[in-house]
Structure 1
Amino acid sequence: MELAYWIVAALLALFYLYAGGKKVTQSQEQLRPMMGWVDRVPMPLVRTIGALEILGAAGLILPPLTGIATWLAVAAATGLALIQVGGIAVHLSRGEARLIGLNITLLVTAAATAYLATTTWR
């Protein structure tokens, strides 16, 4: 189970480091082609979401790697899942039901990561 955790958590962390990094560093104009929803959300909130994604990625990797407060991996995975619930809600409110596939995939992956963290580090 530990190997499965590391594979899934590493992939999820890489995705969130990339996506969160873009949200934190790029302007609204630069984000708009990839994330049309940034027009409806204030940029400070977009930046906050990006920072939470980066912190979530760190939470998936650092606690299990160091063996310190490994329960934070479960909290990080749960937080990332909740971000995707919010993403699904935003897409549905914009009438973009066809765009929630990635959100659902990330939600399921984050839930699986939380489960694997729970069974690996009790």
Structure 2
Amino acid sequence: MNLALWIAAGLLAAVALTGGISKALVPKKKLSLAHGGEWTEDVSVGAVKTLGGLELLAAAGLILPAVGGTIPVMVPVTAVCWMLLMIGAMITHGRLGQYKLVMLNVAYLAVAAFIAWGRFGPVHFVA
């Protein structure tokens, strides 16, 4: 179970890192032209960059606290925060009729829920 939770956290961290880098570094105009990035047309550059920063923090929060042994409870807390972010993404993509992306967000939410459940519950980190 511990291995499955580590794999899930690693995969979700990779997703968060990829999304965070693209939102933080790619110009808003270029993001808006990409499939799935149409939502950026309706928000400010600051909002896009803020979401990118949150995703970068999520990538770090899913891995570093456990690896470093400092405040490992931040891993499931980060997973819960990621779930909230995915709910917002599902609403946004749903409004645009991008139902395949909604389903992808549901999958990411499910992985985060698994991590939160596992790390808050039966396989929490022991200091």
The one of 46, 49, 60 equivalent to 2:51 is: 49
The SS at the match of 2:89 is: helix
**Distance in 2 (alpha carbons) for counterparts of 1:98 and 1:12:** 18
Q: CA deviation at 1:108?
A: 0.8
Matched-pair identity in %: 34
The equivalent of 2:110 in structure 1 is 108
The equivalent of 1:82 in structure 2 is 84
The equivalent of 2:30 in structure 1 is 30
For these two proteins, the number of residue pairs brought into alignment is 122
**Distance in 1 (alpha carbons) for counterparts of 2:54 and 2:100:** 25
Q: CA deviation at 1:114?
A: 1.0
- TM-score using structure 2 length: 0.89
RMSD: 1.4
- TM-score using structure 1 length: 0.92
What is the CA deviation profile of residues 1-52 of structure 1, one whole-angstrom value per residue up to 9, with x for unaligned ones? 2111110000000111011110000101221213111101212111111111
The equivalent of 2:73 in structure 1 is 71
The equivalent of 1:121 in structure 2 is 124
Q: CA deviation at 1:68?
A: 1.2
Q: CA deviation at 1:98?
A: 4.4
**Distance in 2 (alpha carbons) for counterparts of 1:29 and 1:113:** 34
Which contiguous aligned blocks of 4+ residues in structure 1 show a shift greater than 4 angstroms?
Answer: none
